[in-house]
Amino acid sequence: MTKARGKRHHKERHRFARVGWLRAAVLGANDGIVSTSSLVLGVAASKASSTAVAAAGVAGMVAGAISMAAGEYVSVQSQADTEEADLAIERRELAADREAEHVELAKIYQARGLEPALARQVADQLMAHDALGAHARDELGIVEAQRARPLLAAAASAGTFAVGAVVPVALALLVPRSALSPAIVGSALVTLAILGALAAKAGGARLLPGAARVTVWGALAMALTYAAGALFGAAV
């Protein structure tokens, strides 16, 4: 039994690696549901025709997906540009004075708790293996698994937004005008609650608070947009 236990590998499953994609997926889908549902509700409340309501939903889905993709791309590309600029500086410093960079790396390890001699030894081995990678990771905090990927971020944001917007758009196209508003509200709140609970579960948090906070903010957005549409319709 002891021998078998000795061969067993200890694997820890941390959730931090999920933060990047989880954030993008939740943000995109949540925005797709809330913004598109709110748009459809607002247009419907203004007493617009069924055709206008459906057209607004489709236009909102397309425009929102493109907007999410563009915004995410610009944001993540700025991060990527900063990373590349820092790495370029580090390459020049390594080429100009490798010994000073070695001392700098050793001091980082020493500050983290290693004895000076061991810190120098670790710096020796890591710089011999991959000097730029060691400085990128331990001096700049740039980890390959978390590097900025603009195109991937843009595609993920656009895709999840479109997925979130599918339900309100489908309802706007298929549900009779008289039943559209309650159908939009009900489906959006249920979908938001499920999304919030799934995001909380994936992140290791409690399901109920995760579902509640997403649902409450979505309900508030839809209520305010509906009120704005109703006021506009009354004015017209």
For every residue of 113-156, DSSP letters joined together read T--HHHHHHHHHHHHHHHHHHHHHHHTS---GGG---HHHHHHH
CB 188 within 8 A of CB 167: yes
C-alpha dist (Å) from residue 78 to 92, 147, 149, 215? 21, 12, 10, 32
Residues 6+ apart with CB under 8 A from 43: 52, 53, 56, 57, 229
Chunked into runs of 10 residues, the chain (236 residues) has average pLDDT values of: 49 49 71 92 88 92 92 87 88 90 90 89 89 85 72 86 92 89 92 84 78 89 89 62
pLDDT at position 8 is: 54
| Measured CA distances, 28 to 57, 87, 163, 164, 177 (Å) | 16, 30, 9, 7, 27
Rg (CA), the chain: 26
State pTM to two decimals.
0.69
The ranges assigned to domains in the chain are 20-35+58-163, 175-229
- CA separation for the pair 161, 163 (Å, rounded): 5
Tell me the angle at which helices 150-174 and 50-96 cross, rounded to the nearest 10 degrees: 170
Q: What is the pLDDT of residue 13?
A: 52
